[in-house]
């Protein structure tokens, strides 16, 4: 009897150290300029090829119940794209341990899809390059190429243009996900209606990373989408103010929200701040984590 082929992937969340909207393409996609950073909050996915010459069925087991069912799930869609592109007929089972909050601005769905692309490649198509996977992945989601590449990157275009940056200096990150959620599509539509707004100093952040200057990086953390999500969800500003009051050197929203992160110089400070936050009224319904930056996705 043939051995079943199996691989396990840890799919990391990301935060945006800086996020700017610099234009809109003719097809409605927004052109972005972002500093992306992976953190060590991750989902664990185990992929098993149950039959290499099967009917192309995909079975997803997620006991958390947090991810969308069936074919709507980005994991299933990523595997389907690989099957179509490379004419595969393998039956694949995916066990998902979900830790990253969903609809949170942390690329939770995109990073799981990135894991699916790389897992199918590693199990069945070792000749396929990361670059090929990234070109396929961007058709499914703008964050997927970055999640395949990982680490610290400048992301431009609709997410497909990635530039390697020096790793984020050592620090600790408090991550807080309020109970509320934000619709990415609605947030971008609302940004379009704003007209003019202040643009984050992305170039200054790149210089700070090159200089290994954590404070210089932190003081330029800014996200234009917060103009919309922050106005709709005042809890975001309350959490940021609290973290800054606890000694964070930056606090900002990630992605289209509503997750908020605070950057601390030591893990001890971060643990203390999270503990203090848990005793506030704002903590009700929130999920909170203490994380560190990840310099390489390892996918």
Q: Rounded to a whole number, what is the distance in angstroms from the first to the last CA of the chain?
A: 29
Structure tokens at 268: 């001890």
Among candidate residues 14, 98, 153, 177, the one labeled active-site is: 14
Rounded Cα gap, residues 92 and 135, in angstroms: 23
Known active-site residue 14: yes
Known active-site residue 85: no
Among candidate residues 62, 98, 143, 153, the one labeled active-site is: 143
Catalytic center residues? 14, 143
């Amino acid at each position: 009897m043939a051995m079943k082929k199996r691989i396990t992937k840890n799919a990391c969340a990301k935060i945006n150290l800086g996020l700017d909207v610099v234009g809109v393409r003719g097809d409605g996609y927004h052109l972005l300029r972002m500093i992306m950073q992976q953190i060590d909050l991750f989902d664990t996915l185990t992929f098993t090829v149950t039959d290499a010459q099967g009917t192309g069925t995909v079975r997803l087991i997620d006991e958390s119940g947090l991810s969308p069912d069936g074919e709507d799930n980005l994991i299933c869609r990523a595997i389907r794209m690989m099957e179509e592109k490379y004419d595969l007929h393998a039956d694949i089972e995916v066990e998902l341990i979900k830790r990253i909050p969903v609809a949170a601005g942390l690329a939770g769905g995109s990073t799981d899809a990135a894991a699916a692309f790389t897992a199918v490649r590693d199990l069945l198509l070792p000749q396929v390059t990361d670059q090929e996977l990234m070109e396929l992945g961007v058709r499914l989601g703008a964050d997927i190429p970055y999640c395949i590449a990982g680490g610290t990157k400048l992301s431009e275009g609709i997410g497909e243009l990635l530039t390697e940056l020096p790793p984020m200096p050592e620090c600790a990150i408090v991550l807080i996900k309020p109970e509320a959620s934000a619709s990415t599509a609605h947030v971008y539509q609302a940004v379009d209606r704003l007209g003019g707004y202040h643009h984050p100093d992305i170039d200054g952040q790149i210089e700070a990373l090159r200089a290994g200057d954590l404070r210089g990086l932190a003081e330029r953390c800014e996200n234009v989408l917060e103009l919309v999500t922050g106005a709709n969800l005042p809890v975001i500003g309350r959490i940021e103010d609290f973290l800054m009051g606890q000694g964070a050197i930056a606090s900002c929203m990630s992605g289209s929200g509503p997750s908020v992160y605070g950057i601390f110089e030591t893990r001890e400070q971060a643990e203390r701040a999270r503990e203090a936050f848990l005793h506030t009224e704002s903590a009700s319904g929130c999920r909170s984590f203490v994380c560190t930056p990840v310099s390489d996705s390892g996918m």
